[in-house]
Structure 1
Amino acid sequence: MNALTPNISQMSPSDRELSEIAAILMTHAGIVLAPGKGSMVQSRLQKRLRALGLSSYRAYIDLVNSVDGLPERQEMISALTTNVTNFFRENHHFETLQKEALPKLIAARGKRLRIWSAGCSNGQEAYSILMTAAETVREFDQSDIKLLATDIDPVMIRRGTQGVYSSSILEAVPAPLQKKYFQAAGADQQVVDRLRKRATFRELNIHSDWPMKGQFDIIFCRNMMIYFSPEAQNLLWKRFEKILAPGGWLFVGHSERVPLDTGSKLVPAGITTYRLPAEGQ
């Protein structure tokens, strides 16, 4: 780098550029970029500018907004999306799943269940759900239990599909479950085929049209709504309720609440857990 070449690591987006980046995030991902996030934007996007050989945020924004900018817009959203996840995160949900939701659903529906992990990140939530189901449902391998895992980040979707995790990540998984549901993959561990074949990972912008035709018996949408505007949240809660089958269960994040005073039919069913009563109840 010579004296005339800008040092990208020291460049900060201007207030106007931050505003334009925030508008792109809101328009294409429904994510609210809170004020005061300039340093976060700088630290996460400087790698993209460097990879593309761009010397300014202005040039980067112009690229993202251009006709050919869709691939980089996806990269930008991926870079600015927070992917925080752990196996069995908020474990009380998995206890409710094992002790309440799955037994009641199996009793009412038999062993055909459809589950959605929305905002699945790298798949740790999805596989935690499937491990819980495998431990709960008798003759799990003969059941018709399938899980859809979706996320806006294509990198996370690829990782979830592969189901490969480092040993340090697996520390949150009880040892008996590690032994039963993971196998060596080089220096890492991979989810066994009998679970991976139950999960389908798909890229999805939660604010776009949903291609799914049927309803779900269980939906996990945790710690994603906090990044959206109140208006977007209210719309999404209604959409989730519409696609939830009667008698189905909805699990949300620890700081999230479904507004029940807006005509919702959902009822509380545990800590940040809701249930849509079955017909006639």
Structure 2
Amino acid sequence: MLVNDIGDNEFYLFRDIIYREAGIKLSDLKKSLLQARLSRRCRFLAIPTFNDYYNFLMENYDEEKIHFINAITTNKTEFFRENRHFEHMRDIFLPEFESRNTREIRIWSAGCSTGEEPYSVAITLMEYYENRKKPVIKILATDIDTNVLQTAAEGIYKKDVVENIDMPVLKKYFLRGKGENGGLFRVRDDLKKMIYFRRLNLMQEHYPMKDPFDIIFCRNVIIYFDKETQVNVFKRFHRYLDDRGCLFIGHSENITTITDDFVLTGNTIYAKAGGGKR
């Protein structure tokens, strides 16, 4: 079924909803991108025009807005992406954390997409603590997109997705499919059990978590937000990061012009300013 081109008025209506619900600000140059992504949803629902889809969205807002947001979010990720962050974790943060003799380590992957990032975190922790006294490990992985969360929770990946993982690590933490599942790799259950996947919109004023995190990963997420939204998100991260914690952001992101609550300690690696004493 063919869906008509999106009109300016429809684009502006959808753009306002995207900003209100997800904090993502689309320029006029993103009109064709929005059309392409919403066309798939329209075809799935057998809705012939974007105006009809807008009406459908308004009439079924609480349920449909999740599918709407799923359709427009970008989910590019890979295992051990920007590997220097995992090296910093292994070589600098974890030895210092270990010296505290803390019973539990809490890590948050904010904007976890299809799960490659939190599983990379879990592997880094398992490798580090293999011959050491291991704390209780709790990894929270959140995303606004329910489709990618389902993929992440299943933990099944095609060969080309895991090809950048060193072979000994791949064999240790993944099961290779056989027969009709040939070419697929499934994360081992003991690794899965370390991670809690949950839907969370970073635009929410209050997050449901109670305790602070030792590490927060939020990489290549804030680039889609406008400055006001970025300021608010980093205020919340400041509140949820332990005073001796570590914040990792994406290679193309810089928060020094957004907030003075954090100080740069490495390449896109941040700590609380003043050790968190405000």
Q: How would you bin the TM-score normalised by the shorter chain?
A: over 0.9
> CA–CA distance in 2 between the matches of 1:223 and 1:126?
14
* Distance verdict in 2 for CA 1:260–1:104, change over 3 Å: farther
Residue aligned with 2:220, SS: coil
Of 89, 99, 103, 1:97 maps to: 89
**Are 1:87 and 1:124, in contact at CA under 8 Å, matched by a contact in 2?**
yes
Letter in 2 for 1:256: E
**Are 2:140 and 2:198, in contact at CA under 8 Å, matched by a contact in 1?**
yes
Counting only pairs closer than 5 Å after superposition, residues 65-76 of structure 1 correspond to structure 2 as 65-66=58-59, 68-76=60-68
Report the more deviating stretch, 210-219 or 180-189: 180-189
Deviation at 1:195, TM superposition (A): 0.9
Aligned partner of 1:4 in structure 2 is none
Aligned partner of 1:26 in structure 2 is 19
**Are 1:98 and 1:136, in contact at CA under 8 Å, matched by a contact in 2?**
yes
Of 37, 40, 49, 2:42 maps to: 49
Deviation at 1:65, TM superposition (A): 2.1
Aligned partner of 2:198 in structure 1 is 202
Report the more deviating stretch, 30-39 or 86-95: 30-39
TM-score by length of 1: 0.91
Letter in 1 for 2:69: I
Report the more deviating stretch, 39-48 or 135-144: 135-144
**Are 1:164 and 1:190, in contact at CA under 8 Å, matched by a contact in 2?**
yes
**Are 1:134 and 1:140, in contact at CA under 8 Å, matched by a contact in 2?**
no
Aligned partner of 1:257 in structure 2 is 254
> CA–CA distance in 2 between the matches of 1:243 and 1:110?
18
Deviation at 1:40, TM superposition (A): 1.1
Deviation at 1:110, TM superposition (A): 2.8
Counting only pairs closer than 5 Å after superposition, residues 211-226 of structure 1 correspond to structure 2 as 211-226=208-223
- CA-to-partner distance for each residue in 1:76-116, whole Å, 9 max, x for gaps? 11111000000011111111111111111121243510000
Residue aligned with 1:257, SS: coil
Residue aligned with 2:255, SS: coil
**Are 2:231 and 2:258, in contact at CA under 8 Å, matched by a contact in 1?**
no
Of 89, 92, 100, 1:108 maps to: 100
Deviation at 1:166, TM superposition (A): 0.8
Deviation at 1:42, TM superposition (A): 1.6
> CA–CA distance in 2 between the matches of 1:259 and 1:183?
42
Deviation at 1:70, TM superposition (A): 2.4
Deviation at 1:263, TM superposition (A): 4.1
Q: Report the aligned-residue RMSD.
A: 1.8
The question of 1:63 aligning with 2:56 is answered: yes
TM-score by length of 2: 0.92
* Distance verdict in 2 for CA 1:163–1:261, change over 3 Å: closer
Aligned partner of 2:187 in structure 1 is 191
**Are 1:12 and 1:38, in contact at CA under 8 Å, matched by a contact in 2?**
no
The question of 1:36 aligning with 2:29 is answered: yes
> CA–CA distance in 1 between the matches of 2:72 and 2:258?
33
Of 124, 128, 136, 1:132 maps to: 124
Of 247, 261, 264, 1:268 maps to: 264
The question of 1:83 aligning with 2:79 is answered: no
> CA–CA distance in 2 between the matches of 1:261 and 1:28?
21
> CA–CA distance in 2 between the matches of 1:189 and 1:204?
27
> CA–CA distance in 2 between the matches of 1:28 and 1:138?
42
- CA-to-partner distance for each residue in 1:37-85, whole Å, 9 max, x for gaps? 122112111121112121211111122122x222222111111100000
Residue aligned with 1:108, SS: coil
**Are 1:225 and 1:256, in contact at CA under 8 Å, matched by a contact in 2?**
yes
Report the more deviating stretch, 179-188 or 147-156: 179-188
Deviation at 1:225, TM superposition (A): 0.2
* Distance verdict in 2 for CA 1:136–1:238, change over 3 Å: same
> CA–CA distance in 2 between the matches of 1:16 and 1:139?
61
Deviation at 1:279, TM superposition (A): 6.7
**Any stretches of 5+ residues in structure 1 without a counterpart?**
2-6
Letter in 2 for 1:170: V
The question of 1:228 aligning with 2:243 is answered: no
